[in-house]
Structure 1
């Protein structure tokens, strides 16, 4: 997924300065104790991306995503899509990390997940959401199974066979119906442009490819999935 909109500054409260410096160096961003030109990342007790006078907030401790975390073992379609095998761990490449929700569920399912996200702001929100998890062995083990890479997933096309599963969630196949939820609608508004990498991946060599699709999705590729797992609002297209 190729994003155009992205942050260039981190603004921070004084008591968050040390961590803000680390993030600014890691992601090659400018530091500002005052509000910068939007979009920017505001680092405080409730870190968020500020854009168009709106906020994108990501937390794994509050909001609707907490229900998925509590019931992660009930993700039957996701399990079937990746070929889940109980205690065995697969090496998964998530090519469209976004806020990292699916990646975290996969990690809770004891999968080793490398997430690739080109947008620096979304990478940081995901990283901070993981850091703010309760300090329990249960969550820390899942956290340690996740590797975040700030890059364009298209650069991984020649490395797909190194992974057991390639996972893709295009998110906004139809921008007119992009709002799966409040935060997803905000992300759609935040991103200026994006490219669906799915067609490129479908035509590449891989062991297993899983694409999360909206129910109304119309197939554009000439290569049909091996099978489709149908849910209430989304389908998983699985290529083997």
Structure 2
């Protein structure tokens, strides 16, 4: 199932559920939609992440202090809908929380709460068939990742992709990078040759200059660490009623400035 097709490249922001507080997460989601987001990735905090760099690890630690869990993260989705969020919402979680909850319960809760898609970064393609099958049965898109190291697997991964195909721009964990790999353009061209769904690029996309460089090479950009760092900087103001509105406005403006080249 394809989540969304837009004339312009998609803006796909990532935030951590419960950071800096569960109630604030809901308002941040709305601010991102108002800033032009087409799809939201809602990260589930996890104590032992494989793909997350220091910025997102700190966000996860803040969220875990509020006892955020996979189930509670999914339960934020209908609250976001009540607040006015209309864009598709992807749950980004590692496999261990899914296993602990139980796959049947996980998909039941995802469907009950109106989750549009799931992304499990530590579940290899070769081991994901059962999850992809359940996703198809429940109408929830399973978002696949393809990395520069996936050369021999690009065609197989792309041919089974649902929603959109997430291209990892560079090796290593998430984070803010000053430059992107020279070979990224060639990698994206190869992925697009095989993909039946929109191709989005993430990992290290953290400036409007990088967005401008990528806008004609892909169907969307995923921005996470730069936004999560901004949330960290505004955390205290976002949790105080007298400063929350100004902080949300600052966050929205910052998000808009990052993706201005997409307009």
**TM-score when scaled to structure 2?**
0.31
**TM-score when scaled to structure 1?**
0.33
Higher strand share goes to which structure?
Answer: 1
Higher helix share goes to which structure?
Answer: 2
